[in-house]
Amino acid sequence: MTRIIDIRDTDIVSWSAQVIARYLTEAIRQNGRARLVLAGGSTPRLVYSQLASERFTPTIDWENVKVFWGDERCVPPDHSDSNFRMAHEAFLDRVPIPRTNIFRIRAEISPDQAALEYEDVIRREFSMNEGLPRFDLVLLGLGDDGHTASLFPGTSSLTEKRLLVTSVFVHKLNSHRITMTYPVINKATRVLFIVSGETKSTIVQNVLEGPAGRYPSQYVKPDGNGLHWILDRGAAALLKHTKQ
């Protein structure tokens, strides 16, 4: 597995949107559609808004983009913490994507039920009752503790090797989450981490240049050259010998 590390002086938001648009277009050209998995949190919000801008929306064949979530907080879809709500406000209700192409995690129901239901949603979309569906592009962020999606340190989600989606109780947050698991994330054609800001510089250095196997995000290993990191100067500030 090779890693692409993009350290950008320029606007990481528009660069990230450009990379996403390119990967979506490639997937549609090759397969007739692009199955995209969104990240939650605050970093991607501005990137999503860029995708809905005049500069990018005309370049993306939204009819053939299908959108999923890599994780969700166990709250209703109109809750301020909802990753669905964030993406919906940032771009999904501003681009011409068919509503039937948006696959929300119903995280307002019981966590275990929500995970089972989303697993079924994915399998039905891929017409795959077993095996590992291959998403075209998975977007991920990086938490200060090295988590990604809702794969948090010390939680049961890290050891799930069979299911595509699982529910997890995150003690430090005192809340349940629904998350895609390593098997399906690592099956993706491309995985794009987008990390911004000086506050992430320590965890970025530890994850990219520290000992392997210490943080959940280090276990994201898609095949081939599928792993792509986009960092701004702040997030990359402590990197010593990572090729740029």
Query: Considering only residues 6, 71, 119, 160, which one is a binding residue for ligand 6PG as defined by CB under 6 A?
Result: 71
Query: Considering only residues 42, 110, 113, 156, which one is a binding residue for ligand 6PG as defined by CB under 6 A?
Result: 42
Query: Considering only residues 18, 19, 24, 43, which one is a binding residue for ligand 6PG as defined by CB under 6 A?
Result: 43
Considering CB under 6 A, how many residues would be counted as binding ligand 6PG?
A: 13
Segment near ligand 6PG (CB under 6 A); pick from 90-98, 111-119, 141-149, 223-231: 141-149
149 makes contact with ligand 6PG (CB under 6 A)? yes
Query: Considering only residues 64, 82, 83, 181, which one is a binding residue for ligand 6PG as defined by CB under 6 A?
Result: 83
- Contact yes or no for 114/9 (Cβ under 8 A): no
Question: In angstroms, what is the minimal distance from the CB of 234 to ligand 6PG?
Answer: 12
41 makes contact with ligand 6PG (CB under 6 A)? yes
Cα–Cα distance, 89 to 51 (Å, whole number): 12
Between 146 and 226, CB nearer to ligand 6PG:
146
Question: In angstroms, what is the minimal distance from the CB of 2 to ligand 6PG?
Answer: 23
Tell me phi and psi for residue 142, to 5 degrees: -135, 125
H/E stretch holding 166: strand 165-170
Cα–Cα distance, 5 to 225 (Å, whole number): 11
Question: In angstroms, what is the minimal distance from the CB of 178 to ligand 6PG?
Answer: 10
Cα–Cα distance, 29 to 197 (Å, whole number): 34
Q: Which residue is it, tokens 């299911």?
A: 163
Cα–Cα distance, 232 to 47 (Å, whole number): 13
- Contact yes or no for 47/17 (Cβ under 8 A): yes
Between 43 and 189, CB nearer to ligand 6PG:
43
Question: In angstroms, what is the minimal distance from the CB of 40 to ligand 6PG?
Answer: 3
Token pair listed for 129? 């009752």
Find the farthest-apart pair of alpha carbons in the chain and give their distance in angstroms, rounded. Answer: 46
